[in-house]
Amino acid sequence: MRTALRWALAALLAAAGVAHLTTLRRGFRIVVPDWATRALHTDKDTIVVASGVVEVGLAVALVALPRERARVGAAVAAFFVAVFPGNVHQWRTGASAPGLDTDARRFGRLFLQPVLVAWALWATRGDEALGR
């Protein structure tokens, strides 16, 4: 089960990353808070592209680096935590983005983030953490 969920997480990250780099790139800019562009000294498009590259890289690492599984899982969880302010910004501003075009969906998305963090950590936890 853990393996299947790890592969599903990798697929989700890869799909999201590719979307950030291609078809949904423009729509994802709305999620980037203005303070992020000031803090990072860049523009929203660069942040969207960078997050897409990171998502694809994490997806590849989940399947290609089995010996680093726990570290990659921690990195995936940290990524989900790092992008959470964008989700809050989108909810607070009421800005629509692909798939998040209602207040209810934007609000619900906030509760998905902790699930994604837990998923990343659980799916990449090694057998040694289970006492085996």
Cβ atoms of residues 119 and 40 within 8 Å: no
97 DSSP 8-state letter: B
CB atoms within 10 A of CB 48: 23
Residue whose tokens read 């000294």 = 41
- Domain boundary assignment for the chain: 2-127
Q: Is the pLDDT of residue 23 over 70?
A: yes
102 DSSP 8-state letter: S
State the pTM of this model: 0.88
Q: What is the mean pLDDT of residues 86-98?
A: 87
Q: What is the pLDDT of residue 31?
A: 85
CB atoms within 10 A of CB 79: 19
pLDDT tens column, 39-69: 999 999 999 999 999 999 999 999 999 999 9
